[in-house]
Structures are given as C-alpha cells and as structure tokens.
Amino acid sequence: MSIFEGAGVALVTPFLEDGTVDFPKLKELVEFQIQNETDAIIICGTTGESSTLTHEEHLECIRKCVEYVNGRVPVIAGTGSNCTETAIYLSTEAQAYGADALLIVTPYYNKATQNGLIAHYTAIAKSVRLPIIMYNVPSRTGCNIQPETAVALAKNVENIVAIKEASGNISQVAKLMSLANGCLDLYSGNDDQIVPILSLGGKGVISVTSNVIPRDTHLLVKKFLAGDVSGALELQLKAINLCNALFCEVNPIPVKKAVALMGLCGGTLRMPLTDMEPQNVERLKKAMQEYGIL
C-alpha cells in the first residue's frame, strides 16, 4: 500500500520577523492544507528551509506538525542529511514523534558514489520501521540516484518503498520505472511535470505549488488516476505560468512570498536566502492574478 496517492505539500516553515519558528502560523498552514484536500504534508523538506533549522527546531516542527494533523493525512518528515549519523538521529526521533513516513534526500556537497548511496540509505532504513521515500534532486545536491541503484535499494531494503524524482530527466524516470516493475512508488518532485510522471506510473506529487493551490494540485492527480487524462492535462497547463513564477528564483524564496501575499503567513526567510527581487515579485503577482489567486 502506498504512503499516499495524490498531492502532498512540501510545506513552508513560517518564521516570525525575529527569525524564530512561528508555530501558530504553522498550525494555520496545516489547517489550510487539510481544508483544501491536500493528500499528505511533508514537513522540514527543502521548501521548509530544513538546512537552516537547528536540530531542535527541526524536530519540534515535526512534533508539532504531527500534533496539528492529528492523523487526518499522512505526515512525511524530511530527515535527510549529508551525514548518515545525523539522518539516523533525525529519523529515529521523527518516528518517536509519530511521523508516518520519512523523506530522505541524497547526501549533498560531500555527495556519494552509488555504492555509498546504497550504504547510506540502508543504514538509515535499518534504524527505523517507517517507510522511506528517497529524494533525488541532483540540481541541488550534485548527486544523482541512478535507476539501478534506486531499484536495488527498493528490492533489498524492506522499508525503502518510494522515490521523489526531481531530476527533470523523463528518460531516466522511464528507465527507473521499467527496471522497478512495480517495486517502487514514484512521486513527481517537479510541479511542471506531474502529468508526465503520472503517465509513467507515478502515484502523485510532492509539491511546492500546493502551498498556493492545494485543491487544484490534488484535483489534477485525482483526475489523472481516475482516467480523466484530459482534465488533468488542462489543470497542468493552467498552472505552468504559476509554476514558472514560483521557481523564477531559488525555492523557497518565491513560494514564501506567495503565501505572504495570500496572507497565510509572513514571508521571512533565513539567510543565505534573501528577499525576492522586485521585478520577480511583480512577475509572481501577475501569475497569481492570472490564476485567480489574488
């Protein structure tokens, strides 16, 4: 059984102006997502600025998210690290707090060989009982999980069950799904490629855009999985300009601005991320207005 089918939101982490985590706003964001039919909540991923959270903040965000969600949808905790022992620590704590699954990004900066990736993911998986989604995003990590490696992990490690694919390489994803032959669930990691990923057997998306349009992103996947491919395609194409605007600067700078424009939370970022350039703010506002959000 899949961890979830549909659209899971890669949730932003709201900060107060002094830079501390705004937990009341985090609760409001969770409620907004659930009310708008999001299928899972991914806490402390890249979009959640996990790289600038202390371990204490990271774990408290996971604990609070589990509390706020209260079993209504799966909570998937981002607990990856470029240090295997750190990833094990965060993962075991997230399990203790009641997370439903883990999202583990490939090691970044120090990277790893394919054998290193197998050792890294296997060690983390053996430390917990929770199902694990591998996260492949080579544009940010400099490290690519080859299809053969992902399939070997899925076949040999019981609780490695899925992959979030954000390589952007559809040919690689097609090869992956051919080799997997059903042993690995696939989630899109790119909001402009949801329909193509679903057409290759994907179960859904882990979405940045869902911070802004959770119901439509949910509906896109729901339509496709129900056989309404043309309806899903219509929603995919409708969202392309918005997706492009949400990635016109490095994620999560634009989506943080978007949720602020919607009045969902403040747009405070942690350095080294800085405020969005004025011309890009105007581009984002225009895309949101065209979509009907503002």
Residues labelled catalytic: 135, 164
Sign of the CA dihedral running 245, 167, 94, 214: positive
HEC assignment per residue over the chain? CCCCCEEEEECCCCECCCCCECHHHHHHHHHHHHHCCCCEEEECCCCCCHHHCCHHHHHHHHHHHHHHHCCCCCEEEECCCCCHHHHHHHHHHHHHHCCCEEEEECCCCCCCCHHHHHHHHHHHHHCCCCCEEEEECHHHHCCCCCHHHHHHHHHHCCCEEEEEECCCCHHHHHHHHHHHCCCCEEEECCHHHHHHHHHCCCCEEEECHHHCCHHHHHHHHHHHHCCCHHHHHHHHHHCHHHHHHHCCCCCCHHHHHHHHHCCCCCCCCCCCCCCCCHHHHHHHHHHHHHHCCC
- Cβ-based burial of 37 (10 A; exposed 0-12, middle 13-18, buried ≥19): middle
Smallest Cα–Cα separation from 104: which of 120, 126, 115, 119? 120
Smallest Cα–Cα separation from 9: which of 196, 267, 217, 173? 217
- CA 122 to chain centroid, in Å, comes to 21
